[in-house]
Structure 1
Amino acid sequence: MPRIGLWGIVVLPVTGMIGLFHWALGTFHLSPWLIVFQALAEVLLAVAVFYFVFIRGEKKEREKEHHYWDKQLADHKQLLEYLPLAVLFVDRQGTIMHMNNLAREIADIKDNVKNIYQNPHGAEDPLELLKKTLESKQVFQEYDYTCRLVGESKYYRLNTSLIQDEDGQPLGALLTGFNISEQFLLEEQLSQRGKLAMIGELAAGTAHEIRNPLTSVRGLVQILGQRLDKNDSAQEYIKMMLSEIDHINYIIKELLLLARRTSPNLSFISLPALLDDALLLLEGQANSKGIFVYKEYSNELPLVVLDEDQMKQVFINLSTNAIHAMPDGGELVVSAEYVQQEESIVVKFKDTGIGIAKENISRIFHPFFTTRPEGTGLGLPVSYQIVDNHGGKLMVESISGSGSTFIIKIPLVNRENIKAS
């Protein structure tokens, strides 16, 4: 016996009822109530036709699409999960058909979210790119995206594309992304080296031309001060001029440090002892501002081959910056640990200060960039240069209003400097 289905069960009897009502009304002139029943039957027929033609048709179309997705992904889901590549498939309605863990991390999709339109996101987030691809068929190629996680930032290159069936009909969209953090940081480091080298060459060529006449000016101002009476009100101006001249000399000295890419004066140094010396110099300044300094490092750390004076200057610069970032008091945590696999020491200066604005993060190592009126903007570039000369890296993690963490990663032995020396 042929299968009638839901169409035959609903539509055919209703159609028969309407025909019967028409025949009965025309033949027997029955009660007007039959006219009401006839109208209801016609409405029921219209609803049934709408359901089968539109809703059920759309449902079958979606089932067909999902069957296509299941068929395409059946043999590849496990492979996609272990690829070092973020993969996110969605259908035409934005329903997530497949997503590996890396894609979930990048797009910050919650566990209970089944559709990308349900997940809150910003204007530059990966899901926004996927939405634009779905809605306006706009495809993104090599879109660089910064994924800010707790305690670190990762950099990804994203791509989107439309997915179509064999007939060219749209089925959904695809987002892929791969990690370019190492490449990005290397490019940043090379760019920073180039900028510092350019500033250094400029400084080396002009520093002596400025310093020589400045020394003469300072001497003449001192002589003028000696000739004036000690109680003369002009003595205040003399002190101010000498102070400003010394400030200029300090800037020239910092600029010359940028110009020096010679090998450091290396020796075996106890890093904990060096940190203790640097923090001791700033203890009074920290106490006066209500800042508590915590040391989280062991005296058992292995010795490091470095230039003691230069690295001490780096520690002082970073600690000073942390103190300035906490005008109302706070905490500075200085930690150091040995990473045996990489034969390196990682030193962190973590404060609870005002943090660094997002738009300034990429500029803080640029010469002369500062947000403090009294700052020179040379402390961090010089520190970067010193760490780089030791074969290390100086990095920062910060959120505006939530403090900053400066990270120094330095090898126990910089073999390049040993060869050079």
Structure 2
Amino acid sequence: MLKETLIQFIISLMPVFAFQLWHNRERSWSGIPAFLTIVSCISMVFCMLVSVRLNGYDLNFRMVPLVIGTLYGGPYAMFGLISIYICFRIPNIDNFFELSILVIFILSYIPAMLLIMKSFQRARRESKQRIAILSLGAFVILYYITSLAYLIIYDLPLLDNLIFTSLLQMVGSIAAVWVSVFIIESLKENRQLHFDLKRISVNHRREVEKLQQFIDETAFAVMLVNHHGRITHLNEMGYRLFHAQSNIHERDEIVGKYFTAFFHSTHQETDIKLLREALKGNNTQLETVVEDGRTLVKNAFPIRQMPDGLIITGAAIIAQDVSELFLLRSEVDRMERLSLVGQMAASITHEIRNPMAVIRGFVQLLKERSPDNQQQYYHIIIEELDRANSIISDFLSLAQNRALTMEMGSLHDIILELSPLLDADANMRGQTIELELCDYIPLLLLNNKEIKQLLLNLARNGMEAMGDKGVLKLQTNYSEEKERIELRIQDRGVGIPQEQMKRLFEPFFTTKTRGTGLGLPLCLSIAERHNGKIEVESTEGEGTTFIVSFNRKTA
């Protein structure tokens, strides 16, 4: 009898063994309820087929897979299992009383399981074990009570062997349910822990990759070392800044070396000192050093094990090339000083014009009252005063940032208006002016006075660069696709040397004997105020072309 009971116990645990095989294949939980239902159905059928019958009473563990399959499979699984249970139970019914017992069991089992099913699926493992044991115990007790009534009604003897086997079956069924729920829930928890660990590992790997990419792509030079002082990582910028003076130049050989072996003890003493301090747990101050003409800012800090931060696991040194920043800062300081000087000079020069006007007036008066042999001296004085006044006017135009009155106008109209003046100036020099204006040019938002000044300055520069019989060409172009208007002023002079090209628009830079160096900077300032730009093309010995372009989208 014990042998048959042990076989029944093992068969009732078939869903657990099958679930473990399913679980080991790393399948998702979505298919497990249906799988458990099928295996529980097979286990229940085997339990019923190998049951022991004493005095008309079937002794088996069929209730274990029935309860397990119902609790884990859900309502559909329960109805399927009950149907199979009925199909295999009816052929073994001998009388009406046994049929009544079956009906009472089914009518009590279905609503009871429907009530506790949701609570079971939401409960923790200990609660699930308790619910499963109580459910099974209740139905087993109900079954035994009805079976006892059956024995009494049909006056069948209550054998000691039957009592012992029934108690053994009850204890075995409860133990089987407890073991089944325990193993299934343990495997589920292990699977969940496995998934959580895998998810955390994936997230950790992604965060490490992000951090790695950030370190590699940052503009800072970064070197990481472990607590032993071995280099664990060196980004691209770090390789560029550190390896030039180091002892090791091959990048593949750097990782794994001691930083003291990598850095040169003389040229990179600061780096060694910073990392040593960081490995001692000290935060270092910013160090500014100059290496190979570059200004570098360096800092090192310890890397601590979280959350307490008491254990030093490594250190990092960070360096940044701030050469351009230093140059920019010095340039900004210089520009601020120049701006201040310019503002002061503009105020001073504005006040100089008044006494100069008085001087010019009295010189003209003296000129009229002087003899003819002295007229040339007064002429020179007045000419120089006018030249000084012109320089002051150009300087004020360049220094002041006043608001302009803009109106829609045509560049062609301004060129044609200035054409007689330019022709007269060219005739005095023995030169000619050629106009090549495009058929159509749209209106521009411009300041008529300033555009005239720009055109006169560039045209006279071209004339002064040519000798007799020189030709100055003024040409306009309009690109509808780019919505850009171009004014080209081309001379056939000596050209501009390449070394002077980049300094053309610097204030006070000039190659003329009597030049001020303010004409071209003033032209550039006018062009920029009209949202334009000036480009220069020049070939020594052939001539120079100034290209003034205006973009109608922003003009």
TM-score, normalised with respect to structure 2:
0.38
When you count helix as a share of all residues, which structure comes out higher? 2
Higher relative CO (CA 8 A, sep ≥ 6), structure 1 or 2? 1
Greater fraction strand: 1
Q: Which has the larger radius of gyration?
A: 2
TM-score (norm 1): 0.49
